Amino acid sequence: MTIGVLMYCFDTPDINYHRLAERCVAQIRKYLKLEITIVTDLETFKKFRPMGMINYKLVEAKTTNTRPYRGKSIAWYNKERALAYEHSPYDTTILMDCDYFVFSSTLLELANTEFDMMLHDRVHDLTGHNMISGEDESTLPLVWATVTLFKKTTNTEAIFSMIKHVQEYYTHYRNLYRIRYPNYRNDYAFAIALHQLNLGNRIPTPMTMLADRVDVVDSDEDGIVFKHGDAVNFTSGQDVHVMDKEWCNG
Amino acid sequence: MDIGNIKKHSDLNFEVAQAKRNALEKLRSRQLLAYNERLFMADANTINLVSTLKQHSKDFYVLDVNDNPCHVNDPDDFLIKLIERNQETLNAYQQLHQDLAKKRK
């Protein structure tokens, strides 16, 4: 049984995602010690600094999507994730956004259990201001696709086939589930697929997050220091999804 | 106490309460324990359940966090793992709790 981490990383005109991925790789090496595969495009691949043994898969990303970020609408190349089942070379895959940073071995505990697909359905905002609740944004039980653990089973194959279908007919499903946002989001595509197929396990603890309005001002191997308004706080030994996309730019 | 000091006091209390909430989320996350391919929380409920069932039988079934049954055929080993993880997380939380208490003084 093989187990590894799969990441999707495409630089956009606004965001250097490869910098986030480099930091993410360092954290995975320290805390999870797993093989890593990065799906990227040629342009982004050329920008990666040498990181040792990494499996790269080069694809051409769909560039038709956008997202809001700090008051602007920016490009968002997030549609390839629907192909994770085909792209993953592992029996058990930890599919992870490159802005999710591990500071503990918790994901290994989850990976060592029996499931088809497992993801978060709740979040914990470290600032205490509940900026990312995800409530009242659709009629759907929301899940977060930021970290998705899956095994290569018939059920999972069906889930990913459904995700591809949802992506293709997203306007229909968006209307069906009254999703507020017009852009394509993997969180919703995964949630719709799981809802339609009545599958998937939930990670029992919430995903720790920092919204894009929160700046990361410092970090080390054990945690990060973040600033929101006048308040400065830090994390230690706690995995965190950081939505500030610029903190690794130096 | 003037309004400026009350505001400072309120900000400090918010900060301390939030630090406590964050530490508790970290504690719960670290209490996740894989055992026989099932997922458990190494919390007081699980420890008490396993400890009680162990007194009546050498092997038994318990439900994991996803309500899947798990066959426990070595309760001593399971209980040791649960207690170790539980105390490891509580020790870390206790240290932070002490720091917060100092901050409040």
Q: pLDDT, tens digit, for every residue of A34-63? A: 999 999 999 999 999 999 999 999 998 888
Q: How far is A108 from chain B (nearest CA, A)?
A: 9
The interface pTM score, or ipTM, of the predicted complex is: 0.87
Q: Which 10-69 residues of chain B touch chain A by CB within 8 A?
A: 11, 14-15, 17-19, 21-22, 25-26, 28-30, 32-34, 37-39, 41, 64-66, 68
Q: Residue B47 above 90 pLDDT?
A: yes
Mean pLDDT across the stretch B37-51? 97
Report pLDDT for B104: 67
Mean pLDDT across the stretch B17-45? 95
**How far is residue A234's CA from residue A244's CA, in Å, rounded to a whole number?**
15
Beta-carbon separation of B21 and A128 below 8 A = yes
Per-residue pLDDT tens digits for A169-217: 999 999 999 999 889 999 999 999 999 999 999 999 999 999 988 999 9
Is residue B42 within 8 Å of B85, Cβ to Cβ?
yes
φ/ψ (deg, to 5) at A201: -105, 155
Is residue B46 within 8 Å of B72, Cβ to Cβ?
no
A11, A101, A144 from A241: Cα distances, Å: 18, 6, 11
Lowest mean pLDDT among A5-9, A129-133, A150-154, B24-28: A129-133
Structure tokens at A185: 């989001």
Beta-carbon separation of B18 and A128 below 8 A = yes
Rounded to two decimals, the pTM is 0.92
Which of the four pLDDT bands, split at 50, 70 and 90, describes residue A133?
A: low
Report pLDDT for B77: 97
Mean pLDDT across the stretch B79-105? 90
Which of the four pLDDT bands, split at 50, 70 and 90, describes residue B89?
A: very high
Report pLDDT for A64: 80
Is the model more confident about A87 or about B5? A87
Buried b (16+ CB within 10 A) or exposed e, B39-64: bbbbbeebbeebeebbeeeeebebeb
Q: Residue A70 above 70 pLDDT?
A: yes
